[in-house]
Structure 1
Amino acid sequence: MESPRKGISASTSAGPDDLFDASSDAAAVIAPNGVVLGWTLSAEALLGYPAREVVGGSAAHLLAMPDDPLRAAAVAERCRAGHGWSGLIAVRHRDGRCLDVHLLVSASFRIGADECFLVSAREQRPQWTVARSVLDGFLTRLPVGMAVMDQELRYVWLNDTLEQFGGVPREQRLGRRMSEVLPGLQAEALEGLMRKALATGVPVTDYEYAGWSWADPHRQHAFSTSFFPLVDADGAASGVCYLVQDITERWTARQLLTLVNEAGTSIGTTLDVLRTAQELADFAVPRFADFVVVDLLEPVLSTEGHGAWLTDAGPAPVTPAMRRAGMQSVRAGCPEAVARIGEEVGFLPPPRDVNMLISGEPRLIPVLDPSDALWAREEPVRAKRIREFGLHTMIAAPMRARNTALGLTTFARSLNPVPFGPDDVLLARELVARAAVCVDNARRYTREHMAAVTLQRSLLPPALSGGTALEVASSYLPADPTGGVGGDWFDVIPLSGGRMGLVIGDVVGHGIAAAASMGRLRTAVQTLADMELPPDELLAHLDDLVLRLSDEENAAGSGERSTTTFIGATCLYAVYDPVTRRCEMARAGHPPPVVVAPGGRAYFPEIPAGPPLGLGGMAFEATEIELAENSLFGLYTDGLIEGGDQDVERGMSRLGAVLARTGHNLGTLCASAVHELVPVPQPDDIALLLARTHALGADRLATWEVPPDPAAVGDLRTRAIRQVEEWGLGELAMTTELIVSELVTNAIRYAALPIRLRLLRDARLTCEVSDASSTAPRLRHARSTDEGGRGLFLVAQLAHRWGVRYTGDGKIIWAEQEIP
């Protein structure tokens, strides 16, 4: 083997870092005499010689250094002993360049009878070295603060950046601890982290904290710090290296984002304008400001209002009419405030341009100067409060949403010494924008809710009267505003013969649609009741009406639900007759009525439930019960008995127990029952209609059988006149005589037996003629040349009202007169 030349730097053994990957390093097989036996592609890539030019020749011409036979012999002997060798040598590239390579010679091995050596090489590239002055300058001027602390956590070394961060000169830090020179910078927490790194040997990275520094004492900064132990040659920790970076901007942006996210969950929790305004003030103090007021334009607070100013509707009024809607302060009672909640305010920040409410651009006043002539002249009281409580900076942010101006929110600081800046304006804008959307939602909801409540209350009867047959009282409790107005309704309808119709219903759904549907159903029930239909037939006609209205909506094909679309309803209709004390009733999916006997026992009559209105295809059944005089008859909607546990049977039992109490007048009992059964707002409307029954005594009723003889008409007229005079209604004698004569004569001529005449003195004087015929009379307008045909026309002219109702035995023609 050819000997390596002079200048080789060799090592006696190969360490782990000297091992080569044969797949990437140049390799060759060389005989002891230096002849190349094998040549790899990597060797060709390194030196540029192809295998055909090297294999079989001497490796000596590849070296770029003189021969050293003694050193080569020593290396060969070492390799024959089973040890390898490595070192640096200079070789020559085919193009004449000289390369320094790291050479590794393996232990000798044999191929057949020949001894061989495997030689691998890797180019040794020059390493970068840096002068001590350059390194010192780099560490000193590094934009990251750096310091070295000893085991007692005293400053040993720090760079210029850290000196600038803290504002404390290097000379005052060296040899002292952080807690001694920077007491306001969470020094104790930071030193605790340093001790942890020293004790465990585990670095602490990216610990973030906020604090003040002497370099900028009027502004809070945020820093990110890392600590790692310094280990000496013996492996013992000799100190701590401390790295710090100013992340104030990133910290501020994150804090602002966090505030905005928190505002989304804290502001607008209810659909109430005033509550939302107060939530904005409560959230901003003390997180962002020390004193906050929210002033809203008066149309926003109006329950009738259609909002405030549209921003594209022209210039704003010269003087905005605003009221204080919310305020909060770090001082108890908000002593800084000039106006209290609900009071009128007209404050606008300088330059007093009302158009800022429309433009929506916040106004920043970094430094408040109450001595300014504008403040002193136009706002003397406000200027006094500014001086008294030290308000030194302010942001006024207009509140607007959906192209509508809503009001103004003012933020001020006093205890917080940092003035507001441009970043704070962005946060104020975002907070107010979020609150503005919530205020606008609440305003719109309040307007729609009030419209629905107004519509519903206008459709309910303003006053109920049960005549002499019933004493009535009612109670209506709207749903919780979050659930919307429902469709509960009730009515008391006077019928002929002193009878009274009682109806209660519940339209499915909430909002204006339910209220409008309720109004249509109530009108329909009044019309059908006026036709003297029995309860089961009335509900059948009402069911047909709901089906027809639903079909009309579906046939419209607009693709949008109408505000009056019917989606289902329940109803109960009852007719009470004070003469017979009988009550006939039928229900369409509605809860049964409650009856409390004079003795105080409450029960629920068994009435076939019937299908809810709008299903169609199923019949309704009527039930008749007898009610003792002074019985309590109650109709209600399901919201009164469902309660929080949704147990209807238990709710009905509670209702019966409450109504069975004695000693209360009807109105008090009705109100107390609703309050006791529903102590808190419910998501559904609640209606309760109570009626105490009275009977019509025999002294108020007169009945005669009518023989089928026209001559009997005169006798019946005489009897009727005598009875009317006995009742003290002599001024009605003549009109009564004419009505009796016409009705009885028509019955004798056209009706079937038996025929009866009845006079009934109630709230009105009623004349009734019943017969066994189902043929209805027809009102005619006779010509001047006709001999007859004017009977019913005269009755219609003389009576307050008249009509026909059908019974199981025939019909009754009746006419009522007002009692003077």
Structure 2
Amino acid sequence: MDRGSERDTPRGRGDSAAGRIPLAVVVVDSEGLVSHWSSGAGRLFGVGRDDAVGHPAADLLPVSGALPDDARGDAMPDAYEEYDGAGPDLEASLGGHSAFATAGRARLTPPGPAPGDERLDVLWWAYPLVGPGTSRLLVLAADATRLRDERGYDDETAERIAPGFARHTELPASEELERHLPEILPNMGPGLSGRIVSQVLELGYPVLEFSQFDRVPVTPYWGVPRRAGRTPAVPLVPQQRAAAPVIPSGAEQDLEYAAVRERLEFLNEVSSRIGSSLDLSETIREVTSAAVPRFADFAGTHLRAAVLAGEGFSDGPPDASTVMFRVWVEHNDEPGRWDDTVPVGEAFAFPEHTPFYKCMVTGEPVVVPRVTGELSDRIAGEFEKRDLRPLIGGRSLLIVPLKARNVVLGFMVLMRRPDRPQFDDMDRTTGAELAARAGLVLDNARMYTYQENVADTLQDSMLPQVSPRMAGCDVATRYLPGTRLGRIGGDWFDTIKLPGSRTALVVGDVMGHGLNSAAMMGQLRTAVQTMAAMETPPARLLRQLDDLARRLGDNYLATCLYAVYDPIRGELQLANAGHIPPVLVRAEDGSSELLDLPTGAPIGVGGVPFEAVRVKVAPGDRLVLCTDGLVEVRGSDIGEGLAALCESAAHPAASMDVACDTIIRALNTRGGRKDDVALLMARLNGIPDEHVAEWLLDADPGEVARARRLVRDRLLEWGLPGAVETAELLVSEVVTNAVRHAGGDRVALRVVRTDALLFEVTDDEPALPAMLAAGPLDESGRGLRVVSRLAREWGASATGHRKTVWFEQAVGSSR
């Protein structure tokens, strides 16, 4: 490098040139990987930020010898040819534990050049970094070819330009480095920026050397317009170093254009970062974090309660009574500085005299260039027991509305520290654009949350509220929505109380997914409940359900498993319509088995008979019914899922809920599940013989008194004297009706004790009784009204040529 004593004077220009050149700024971590990459670096080296960050710096930068030990290589990238250097020896300067800065020049092949194109002349400065964190090298680079072309130097003069270092105390505007680093390097906070710049200033300010005696400071072109009152750039002409710096004509327009470009790049980067998820909470975090630290030092997002709940809300602006929730805060101050004073989750309404109220009511951004002491006092006065003044005083404030479809969803509070430029009109426009994009993303997340809530509500409303205790059995259920969009499907389960202390256990699965499947599921479930209450046998019930599905439409297809448990007989009666078989776990030895049932065809196919199977069970046996979403995974054999179901169902458990959870954990972890899942488990406890009493009565009015006596004696034997009086009255009314209207010679009376008392009276007249409106002078017609008033539940059913009237009475109750 030629460092002659003569001064080098630029040729081809009569006026002074601005002492600023575009800089590429790069930070390299301790592993030799790029951690920060400015837009200027992308333009100079032809590599975008996404393709640079996280990649080896040795493959991207022509800084031979300046990289950490583990990142250095003997050969430079093919695109670079080192031919000049300044500072200490390149190989020793930063290779070990040296604390020296390094500078040099290199030839760079432009990205995608045509054959014969001139190679670029790159000047670079490398600074070793120490201290906390992983940052270990700062690299500044500039295009000497552009310097030569724009400043008018000829080839001979340009060859004598070299990068060098000078004490920062000798040069003006050294604070520009620290001020602008966070603006050009995304995700760099002021802490790291301050540490880096302090070391740069200690090791030597970057300069261009034109001779042994003349050094011109590198005042970088950061792409930010110069504002009134700020120190302009130092001219590049050595003779004018001590004179007042000037800015060439037209430079302000160039800077303004570059500032707009930088903000567009910022907004483009923000747009690519936010909206990656439809989860409302994640979207809120993305939106808030996008502004810090590049645009602001503090960002706080406030949303209306209806937005957080995923609900709709009326059009029109909010007012002083509108409650806003602070949903997220992001800042680059010291940890804990804001957390206690402005906690996330706080809800309050903003008074009319605050700038926050003005923003949310007008729907326009509000700029406060500097928060004065008077405004700081007014804002802080709205927060009890917390003093905001030390945090907001002297800062620049920008409040931007978050809107979608002309409705204000909330607003974002942005602040800059006093050492950063105040928010101006350009920042106001940038903030408004940021808020517009954020508002749209938030509204999409809100609408998705709303649709999810609607789907969940619809699904919950269609699934039954199953009682955990039925006559002679305990029941536990689980439902898992599918992972498909919409979270709603056609899987269902149900338990239905039947006469004779019996219980119907149902599991079904409508083919398809979404609202149509859910609507069809609701229709089929209602039909099953109706037919079950009429004591329709399992095979006939599926036959009638199949006929109904074909009448409703060609697309109605579903599988269904219907089982009736008789706890007195210890028997299951099951019929299957194309559903996966149930699992029966035997209490005696803990073994489990898939019940061998006639498969049948799905509901809606038509023309296929259904068969019922009877299975004897013992007290304590467990029946497990589920839909295929639990055992079937795309790409796997369903037999593997059924085997896993049998194994997990047989696992000992302390309770029914624990047993269900064991099955879900064992099978739901299998990858690839997208369908919804319905699981129903019933422990078949049975009813002991000593808790059942049956008698046959003659169809004679004199048998009514005998029925009362038999019931009284049995209840006293069971130790239930409190239930005797009401039981005698109700049995008397029901047996009287049976004797009076019976078509045969016999009337059957049965009493069953479970958690309640069940009374059943059966006769040979199939016609169901009807409740009559008896007048004051009528001698009959009041029996069923008395039963309806005093019994906990009552009903009637017909089977063949017989009918049964039943009622329940709470144990120990006088009613």
TM-score in terms of structure 2 length = 0.63
Matched with 1:114 is: none
Give the corresponding residue for 2:689: 698
Deviation by residue 1:727-784 (Cα, 9 ceiling, x = unmatched): 336432354355345435655x458xx986655444333334366x9x5456596999
- 1:580 is matched with which residue? 569
Check whether the contact 2:734–2:805 (CA below 8 A) recurs between aligned residues.
no
Q: Give the Å deviation of 1:652.
A: 2.6
Aligned-residue Cα RMSD (Å) equals 4.9
Q: Does the 8 A contact of 2:535 with 2:798 survive in 1? A: yes
Measure how far apart 1:424 and its partner are: 3.3
Q: Residue type matched to 1:386 in 2?
A: I
- Does residue 641 of the first structure (1) align with residue 555 of the second (2)? no
Asked whether 1:736 is paired with 2:739, we answer no
Name 1:295's counterpart in structure 2: 302
Q: Distance in 2 between matches of 1:378 and 1:417?
A: 22
Aligned to 1:464: 467
Work out whether 1:339 is the aligned partner of 2:342: yes
Equivalent of residue 203 in structure 1, options 118, 129, 134:
118
SS in 2 for 1:727: helix
Q: Deviations over 1:82-129 (max 9, x none)?
A: xxxxxxxxxxxxxxxxxxxxxxxxxxxxxxxxxxxxxxxxxxxxxxxx
Please report how far the alpha carbon of residue 500 of structure 1 lies from its aligned counterpart in structure 2 after TM superposition: 0.7
8 Å CA contact 1:227–1:242 kept in 2: the answer is no
Output the amino acid matched with 1:579. Answer: I
Contact 1:203 1:227 in 2 (8 A): no
Name the CA distance, whole Å, in 2 between partners of 1:154 and 1:540: 105
The separation in 2 between residues aligned to 1:202 and 1:710, in whole angstroms, is 116
Structure 1 residues 650 and 162 mapped into 2: Cα distance closer, same or farther (>3 Å)?
Answer: farther
Q: Which residue of 2 aligns with 1:259?
A: 266
> For each residue in 1:629-678, what CA deviation from the matched residue of structure 2 results, as whole angstroms up to 9, or x when unmatched?
11011222333334687553323322322221224122232234334433
The equivalent of 1:382 in structure 2 is 388
Q: 2:432 aligns with which of 429, 433, 445?
A: 429
Q: Which residue of 2 aligns with 1:166?
A: 19
Give the match for residue 33 of structure 2.
none
Q: Is the contact made by 2:699 and 2:744 (CA closer than 8 Å) also made in structure 1? A: no
Check if 1:726 corresponds to 2:714: yes
- Contact 1:151/1:240 (8 A) holds in 2: no
SS at match of 2:272: helix
Over 3 Å counting, the alpha-carbon distance change for 1:195 and 1:543 in structure 2 is closer
2:532 aligns with: 529
Q: Say which of 321, 326, 329 aligns to 1:327.
A: 329
What is the one-letter code of the residue matched to 1:157?
A: P
How far apart in 2 are the matches of 1:479 and 1:288?
41
Q: Deviations over 1:10-44 (max 9, x none)?
A: xxxxxxxxxxxxxxxxxxxxxxxxxxxxxxxxxxx
- Aligned identity (percent) is 30
Residues 812 and 413 from structure 1, CA distance in 2 versus in 1: closer, same or farther, beyond 3 angstroms? same
- The match for 1:505 is 508
Structure 2 SS opposite 1:486:
coil
Aligned equivalents of 2:5, 2:600: Cα separation in 1: 90
Deviation track 1:336-369 (CA, whole Å, cap 9, x = no partner) reads 464121113556998627353254332334x324
Q: In 2, distance between residues paired with 1:640 and 1:224?
A: 63
Aligned residues: 609
How many Å apart are 1:398 and its aligned residue?
0.6
State the partner residue of 1:370: 372
State yes or no: 1:191 paired with 2:193. no
The DSSP-based 3-state class of the residue aligned with 2:275 is coil
* SS across alignment from 2:284: helix
Q: Indicate which of 618, 622, 625 corresponds to 2:612.
A: 622
In 2, Cα distance between equivalents of 1:278 and 1:427: 20
Give the superposition deviation at 1:594.
Answer: 1.7
Structure 2: distance between partners of 1:325 and 1:780: 59
Equivalents in 1 of 2:526, 2:652: separation in Å? 35
Letter in 1 for 2:388: R
Post-superposition Cα deviations, 1:159-216, rounded to whole Å, max 9, x if no partner, equal 5489432169xxxxxxxx9989xxxxxx9888324899xxx996236989999xxxxx
Are 1:396 and 2:399 matched, yes or no? yes
Q: Does 1:417 align with 2:420?
A: yes
- 1:597 CA displacement: 0.5
C-alpha deviations, 1:200-253, integer Å up to 9, x for none? Answer: 996236989999xxxxxxxxx9997636999xxxxx985648999976556545
> Matched residues in 2 for 1:703 and 1:465: separation?
27
Distance 1:418 1:778, change over 3 A: closer
Preserved CA contact (<8 Å) 2:623 2:683: yes
Task: Please identify the structure whose Cα radius of gyration is greater.
Answer: 1
Note closer, same or farther for the CA distance 1:386–1:782 as it changes in structure 2 (3 Å cut): closer
Structure 2 runs not aligned, ≥5 long: 22-83, 88-100, 127-139, 162-220, 222-249, 382-386, 717-722
Shift of 1:325: 1.3
Unaligned runs of 5+ in 1: 1-147, 169-176, 181-186, 212-220, 231-235, 552-565
Per-residue CA deviations over 1:397-445 (Å, capped at 9, x if unaligned) read: 1100012101111223338734444443333223222221121122222
Partner of 1:801: 794
Q: Which amino acid aligns with 2:105?
A: E
- TM-score after normalising by structure 1: 0.63
**Among candidates 652, 655, 658, match of residue 648 of structure 2:** 658
Contact 1:228 1:241 in 2 (8 A): no
Quote the offset at 1:573 in angstroms. Answer: 2.0
